[in-house]
């Protein structure tokens, strides 16, 4: 199978920070907002180099979303950032009315998504944000897999007109995508071609899917691995082309199986090419405190869980 090398573990939020640093130097219309989490969002360099283009709103996320909407009136491209929980569920109506329904060019950039923020526990571990955001008409939803891809996505969404939800995380994870790979919104990335099963993964689960595919190969199972970094709009063609070949699919995401990538894939399959599907996701539950590794193990979100799901789905073919 195609070999991928970890270039050195990094956090995806630092990919966002690196992207913001570059945008600060290249796009004078980009402005940044943050709700008392500058260090966590890794945007210190942007702020240092562009103090007049940074707005510290304090612990007031609702106001941040409204200010971001207003800044677009006058041609600014606001990147409003916080933890995923506080950047979505807490301010859903502000996003719905002032940003999505008003068609404002705001980029909602959310770190610490999912279980992998770890010890802070379920108050901070949102597993519903993809569902919340993909339900908003006109909202683009992106969940990149590593540092390089998060940086590339940050640059790409500045060029896209319209509201975007960019979701990333806290822990240091494998950084394996090419440093210069162009990010195409809505275009799936084929990581490994296979014939027996399709694994469709997003975010931190993409690397885990590659580890699972490697293990499966040793068992004589050929797994196709697709990185769906854009959950909306979904690259339905890439998904359908793959499942027509493999005949079954496992979706993998750090999110509730209700409302996540898996459901979007299931809808596509039901409409166009029904095949057996297994979901690697949390099952309608909140998280809890623990290390990221412990949590991903307990809630079934690692390469071993993907491998088991593949074995299950193969029996249903």
Partner 1 sequence: MPNTQELQDLVVQVRRDILRMVHKVNSGHPGGSLGCTEFFVALYNEIMDLKEGFDMDGKGEDLFFLSNGHISPVFYSVLARRGYFPIEELDTFRLINSRLQGHPTTHEGLPGIRVASGSLGQGMSVAIGAALAKKLNGDDHLVFSLHGDGELQEGQNWEAIMYAAGNKVDNLIATVDRNGQQIDGATENVLPLGDVGEKFRAFGWDVMHIENGNDLDQVIAGLKEAKSRTGKGKPVCIVMTTEMGNGVDFMMHTHAWHGKAPNDEQLANALAQNPETLGDY
Identity of the residue, 98 or 264, whose beta carbon is nearer to partner 1 in the bound complex: 98
Q: What are the phi and psi torsion angles at 86 (to 5°)?
A: -85, -15
Of 27, 70, 121, 186, the one binding partner 1 by CB under 8 A: 70
Of 18, 37, 47, 68, the one binding partner 1 by CB under 8 A: 68
303-315 helix and 205-218 helix, angle to the nearest 10 degrees: 60
Q: Which of 22, 44, 49, 61 is catalytic?
A: 61
| Euclidean distance between CA atoms 1 and 208, whole angstroms | 15
151 is an interface residue for partner 1 by CB under 8 A = no
Beta strands in the chain (DSSP E): 10-11, 30-34, 54-56, 77-83, 107-111, 140-142, 164-167, 172-173, 189-192, 197-201, 223-227, 230-232, 249-256, 277-282
| Euclidean distance between CA atoms 277 and 282, whole angstroms | 15
Residues 25-54 contacting partner 1, CB under 8 A: 31, 52-53
Q: How far is the CB of 39 from partner 1 (least distance, A)?
A: 21
179 is an interface residue for partner 1 by CB under 8 A = no
What would the x/- binding string for partner 1 be over residues 95 to 124, using CB under 8 A? -xxx--xxxx--------------------
DSSP letter string, 22-52:
HHHHH-TTEEEEESS-HHHHT-HHHHHH-GG
Identity of the residue, 45 or 102, whose beta carbon is nearer to partner 1 in the bound complex: 102
| Euclidean distance between CA atoms 216 and 202, whole angstroms | 19
92 is an interface residue for partner 1 by CB under 8 A = no
136 is an interface residue for partner 1 by CB under 8 A = no
Of 1, 7, 22, 76, the one binding partner 1 by CB under 8 A: 76
**Dihedral (Cα; 169, 42, 15, 299), 10-degree rounding:** -10
Identity of the residue, 73 or 271, whose beta carbon is nearer to partner 1 in the bound complex: 73
Other CB atoms within a 10 A radius of the CB of residue 26 amount to 10
Q: How far is the CB of 90 from partner 1 (least distance, A)?
A: 11
Identity of the residue, 73 or 179, whose beta carbon is nearer to partner 1 in the bound complex: 73
Q: How far is the CB of 32 from partner 1 (least distance, A)?
A: 12
22 has catalytic annotation: no
Cis peptide leading into residue 136 (ω within 30°)? no
CB-CB contact of 146 with 226 (8 Å): no
Query: Residues in contact with partner 1, total (CB under 8 A)?
Result: 32
194 is an interface residue for partner 1 by CB under 8 A = no
181 is an interface residue for partner 1 by CB under 8 A = no
Nearest CA to 310 out of 204, 209, 188 is that of 209
Q: How far is the CB of 110 from partner 1 (least distance, A)?
A: 19
23 is an interface residue for partner 1 by CB under 8 A = no
94 is an interface residue for partner 1 by CB under 8 A = yes
Nearest CA to 77 out of 100, 107, 51, 54 is that of 107
What are the residue numbers of the active site? Answer: 61
Which residues of this protein are in contact with partner 1, per CB under 8 A?
Answer: 31, 52-53, 55, 57-58, 60, 62-76, 78, 93-94, 96-98, 101-104
């Amino acid at each position: 199978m195609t070999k991928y090398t970890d270039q050195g573990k990094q956090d995806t939020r630092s990919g966002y920070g690196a992207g913001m640093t570059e945008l600060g130097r290249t796009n004078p219309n980009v402005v940044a907002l943050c709700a008392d989490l500058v260090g966590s969002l890794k945007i210190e360099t942007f702020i240092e180099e562009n103090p007049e283009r940074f707005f510290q709103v304090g612990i007031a996320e609702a106001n941040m979303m409204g200010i971001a909407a207003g800044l677009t009136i006058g041609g600014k491209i606001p990147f409003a950032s916080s933890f995923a929980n506080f950047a979505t569920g807490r301010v859903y109506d502000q996003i719905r009315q002032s940003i999505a329904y008003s068609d404002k060019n705001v980029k909602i950039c959310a770190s610490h998504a999912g279980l992998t923020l770890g010890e802070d526990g379920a108050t901070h571990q949102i597993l519903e944000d993809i569902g919340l955001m993909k339900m908003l008409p006109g909202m683009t939803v992106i969940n990149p897999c590593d540092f390089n891809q998060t940086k590339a996505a940050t640059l790409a969404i500045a060029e896209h007109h319209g509201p975007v939800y960019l979701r990333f995380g806290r822990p240091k994870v494998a950084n394996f995508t090419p440093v210069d790979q162009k990010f195409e919104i809505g275009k799936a990335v084929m990581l490994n071609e296979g014939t027996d099963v399709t694994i469709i993964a997003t975010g931190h689960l993409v690397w885990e899917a590659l580890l699972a595919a490697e293990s499966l190969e040793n068992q004589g199972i050929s797994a196709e691995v697709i990185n769906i970094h854009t959950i909306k709009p979904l690259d339905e063609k890439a998904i359908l082309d793959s499942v027509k070949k493999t005949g079954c699919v496992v979706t993998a995401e750090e999110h509730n199986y209700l409302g996540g990538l898996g459901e979007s894939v299931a809808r596509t399959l039901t409409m166009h090419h029904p095949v057996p599907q297994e979901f690697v996701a949390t099952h309608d539950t909140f998280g809890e405190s623990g290390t990221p590794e412990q949590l991903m193990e307990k809630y079934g979100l690692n390469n071993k869980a993907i491998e088991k799901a593949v074995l299950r789905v193969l029996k249903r073919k």
